[in-house]
């Protein structure tokens, strides 16, 4: 019986880099079969090319996977560890943050070291060295914590796996935030309260007292915003005596100047290009008597469309009449509702306002003001002009309007600019982005790994943010023509809620493409740098900074850190403004620390600060506990006394 031939094992097909090398070798010295078939060689070459393409795709997938892991880790460090990492954090930023968390000092040039304990501390501890990651107890901690609670309050230890190679550091960071079981196996005398002497406690108390002394710091001018309502809808000064009283009170507090809103809806109310400035002329004459500087706001938005508003200032009547016939001059939301807070920048270059474009209307208003008050500019009485670029004068979309029943901390809604030509598909916006009061996790667009990071989402968000920046660029170009050699100010919103989530949903609907894997403020500040503006940013006290049980994942401090550093890095000047909500003592001091941080190596500080309140100063409704003390701190004068608790 003839034996059957045994099947020969098939050679193993090379994969990955081996396939690439084999294909390259085949292309250099092709083998010819005994039959001399050229088709086999061609097939082999085509097969090698396909393998190379597949390997490229696999490499891209691995890189995307690695970046996704990095993005989630950075988001976790920001969200759960309160690490102030920039939007485009590299490993230097991560390592520096982890080192500082562990108690190390990291200088701007990368020099890293650990401070040695003070001599008296070592003397009290005797032969026991201070352990890595521990911090000395303070009087406050002794007052509020028992011995066991004090151990729980120790700074966490953060470690990085020594086995990680430099190439893999951007993929994996091991952070051990709870190692009390290893550090404190048992209670020892070194961790007891008795080991700290009375003089150490006194030093701690004195050090906190000196923290409130701002003598010798940079001088930050303080401007107070004049109450809305002194100019009525007929551009008349409604209460001259009240104006005098308020200005007199400001002058007694050594305020550097006042902020005055010049309302488009009042000055050009009835007919296009018919400007009435009489009330403002009278007001400015009163301010001139007190020899205070004036910053004016070109207010192109409406004011007071809420239940609690005492004053109502709409857009000009002739604009509203045009809007009845052509509602596309206003923004519209997902349900087709229009908002009259501000004109849509879809008509910035559309001649739909009685033959003028949106930017031409703004320019004519600014030019009229500059011509009318040329004498005040010549005297230097008007020191700066703020250009309103959106709702509330802020550079943003009307995405969280109370008129549309938005309530904090809703994510807001994308707004459509119907007249934007050539972008009808993108202008519709996503259909799974929820409504004004939705939460990110309730939507398919803003949830974790949602559509905001898809190809469509990235393209739409880039287009949406670019339209906002184009509007700023167009208006500021004409503002610089109208106000030559005058300081121009632009107000940036502080959309701090949902900042600790990956999508930053509220910022996205407002027009800032700033999720955790994207820096949305740098492109905006590049546009503003082009026009050499001063950026004004809203500062918050501590009343909204309670992170425990925070359902909105708010982080005003993290947002401020990102915005201020991004502005300063571009060499732009920064100013601050408070919210209308009241501040306690700690909130007041926090604002001052933000305005002129004492530990900043570059001595950066605000160029000025704007204090605003809802009621006139003469009524005694002062939101800051002691405005006089606050101004002295900003002025860096000799300060005595303390804030009212």
Element (H, E) at 288: helix 278-289
Cα pseudo-dihedral 244, 249, 253, 257, rounded to 10: -30
Residues in CB range of 139: below 8 A, 6 or more apart? 201, 204, 205, 208
Q: Determine the Cα–Cα distance for residues 407 and 437; give it in Å rounded to an integer.
A: 6
Q: What pLDDT shows up at residue 11? A: 53
Q: Position of tokens 């425990």?
A: 548
Burial class (CB in 10 A: 0-12, 13-18, 19+), 29: exposed
- What is the 8-class DSSP label of residue 15? -
Q: 101, 386, 413, 577: which one is catalytic?
A: 577
Cα pseudo-dihedral 16, 22, 25, 29, rounded to 10: -150
Q: Determine the Cα–Cα distance for residues 570 and 522; give it in Å rounded to an integer.
A: 9
Residue 527 structure tokens: 């546009």
Most distant pair of Cα atoms in the chain: their distance: 126
Residue extents of the structural domains in the chain? 56-101, 225-635
Residues in CB range of 507: below 8 A, 6 or more apart? 495, 498, 499, 514, 520
Segments of the chain with pLDDT less than 70: 1-45, 64, 67-68, 79-80, 82, 87-88, 115-213, 305-309, 418-428, 540-549, 580-585, 614-626, 637-645
How many angstroms from the chain centroid is the CA of residue 5?
Answer: 76
Q: What pLDDT shows up at residue 632? A: 87
394 catalytic? Reply is: yes
Q: Determine the Cα–Cα distance for residues 230 and 249; give it in Å rounded to an integer.
A: 16
379 catalytic? Reply is: no
**Do residues 294 and 250 make contact, with C-beta atoms less than 8 angstroms apart?**
no
Q: Determine the Cα–Cα distance for residues 401 and 407; give it in Å rounded to an integer.
A: 8
Residue 612 structure tokens: 């605003």
**Do residues 258 and 224 make contact, with C-beta atoms less than 8 angstroms apart?**
yes
Number of H helices, E strands in the chain: 21, 12
Which candidate, 440, 418, 438, 439, places its Cα nearest to that of 429? 418
Q: What 3-state class would DSSP assign to 561? A: helix
Q: 246, 394, 413, 507: which one is catalytic?
A: 394
Q: Determine the Cα–Cα distance for residues 462 and 483; give it in Å rounded to an integer.
A: 31
pTM: 0.68
Phi, psi of 576, rounded to the nearest 5 degrees: -125, 160
Q: What pLDDT shows up at residue 583? A: 55
- What is the 8-class DSSP label of residue 444? T
Phi, psi of 296, rounded to the nearest 5 degrees: -105, 150
The CATH architecture one would assign to domain 225-635 is Alpha-Beta Barrel (3.20)
Q: Determine the Cα–Cα distance for residues 56 and 223; give it in Å rounded to an integer.
A: 59
Q: Determine the Cα–Cα distance for residues 628 and 625; give it in Å rounded to an integer.
A: 9
Q: What pLDDT shows up at residue 328? A: 92
Which candidate, 260, 207, 282, places its Cα nearest to that of 393? 260
Q: What 3-state class would DSSP assign to 341? A: strand
């Amino acid at each position: 019986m003839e034996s059957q031939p045994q099947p020969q094992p098939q050679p193993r097909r090379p994969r990955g880099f081996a396939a690439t090398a084999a294909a390259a070798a085949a292309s250099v010295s092709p083998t010819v079969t005994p039959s001399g078939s050229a088709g086999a060689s061609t097939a082999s070459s085509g097969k090698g090319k396909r393998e190379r393409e597949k390997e490229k795709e696999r490499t891209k997938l691995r890189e995307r996977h690695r970046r996704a892991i990095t993005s989630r880790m950075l988001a976790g460090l920001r969200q759960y560890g309160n690490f102030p990492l920039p939007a485009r954090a590299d490993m230097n930023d991560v390592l520096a943050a982890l080192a500082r968390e562990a108690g190390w000092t990291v200088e701007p040039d990368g020099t890293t070291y650990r401070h040695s304990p003070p001599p008296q501390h070592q003397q009290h501890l005797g032969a026991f060295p201070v352990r890595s990651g521990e911090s000395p107890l303070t009087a406050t901690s002794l007052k509020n914590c028992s011995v066991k609670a004090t151990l729980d309050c120790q700074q966490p230890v953060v470690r990085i796996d020594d086995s990680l190679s430099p190439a893999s550091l951007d993929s994996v960071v091991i952070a051990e935030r709870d190692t009390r079981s290893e550090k404190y196996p048992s209670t020892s005398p070194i961790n007891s309260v008795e080991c700290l002497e009375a003089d150490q406690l006194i030093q701690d108390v004195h050090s906190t007292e000196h923290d409130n002394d701002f003598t010798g710091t940079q001088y930050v001018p303080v401007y107070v915003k004049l109450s809305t309502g002194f100019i009525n809808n007929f551009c008349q000064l409604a209460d001259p005596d009240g104006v005098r009283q308020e200005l007199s009170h400001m002058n007694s507090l050594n305020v550097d100047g006042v902020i005055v809103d010049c309302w488009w809806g009042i000055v050009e109310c009835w007919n296009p290009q018919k400007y009435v400035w009489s009330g403002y002329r009278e007001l400015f004459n009163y301010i001139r008597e007190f020899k205070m500087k004036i910053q004016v706001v070109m207010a192109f938005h409406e004011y007071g469309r809420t239940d609690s508003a005492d004053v109502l200032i709409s857009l000009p009547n002739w604009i509203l009449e045009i809007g009845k016939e052509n509602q596309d001059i206003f923004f519209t939301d997902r349900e087709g509702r229009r908002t009259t807070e501000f004109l849509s920048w879809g008509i910035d270059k559309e001649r739909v306002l009685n033959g003028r474009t949106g930017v031409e209307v703004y320019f004519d208003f600014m030019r009229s003001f500059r011509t009318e008050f040329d004498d005040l500019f010549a005297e230097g009485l008007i020191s700066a002009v703020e250009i309103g670029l959106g709702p509330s004068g802020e550079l943003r979309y009307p995405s969280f309007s109370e008129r549309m029943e938005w309530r904090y901390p809703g994510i807001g809604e994308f707004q459509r600019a119907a007249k934007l030509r050539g972008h009808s598909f993108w202008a519709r916006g996503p259909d799974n982005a929820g409504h004004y009061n939705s939460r990110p996790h309730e939507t398919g667009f803003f949830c974790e790994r949602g559509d905001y990071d898809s190809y469509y989402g990235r393209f739409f968000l880039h287009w949406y943010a670019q339209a906002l920046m184009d509007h700023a660029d167009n208006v500021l170009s004409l503002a610089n023509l109208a106000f030559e050699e005058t300081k121009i100010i632009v107000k940036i919103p502080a959309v701090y809620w949902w900042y600790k989530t990956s999508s930053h949903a509220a910022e996205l609907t407002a027009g800032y493409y700033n999720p955790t894997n994207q820096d949305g403020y740098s492109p905006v500040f590049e546009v503003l740098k082009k026009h050499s503006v001063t950026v004004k940013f809203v500062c918050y006290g501590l009343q909204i900074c309670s992170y425990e049980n925070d359902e909105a994942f708010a982080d005003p401090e993290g947002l401020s850190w990102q915005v201020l550093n991004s502005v300063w890095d571009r060499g732009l000047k920064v100013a601050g403004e408070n919210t209308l909500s009241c501040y306690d003592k700690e909130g007041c001091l926090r604002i001052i620390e933000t305005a002129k941080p004492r530990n900043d190596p570059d001595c950066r500080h605000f160029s000025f600060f704007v204090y605003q309140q809802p009621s006139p100063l003469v009524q005694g409704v002062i939101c800051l506990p002691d405005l006089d003390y606050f101004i002295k701190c900003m002025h860096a004068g000799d300060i005595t006394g303390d804030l009212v608790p």
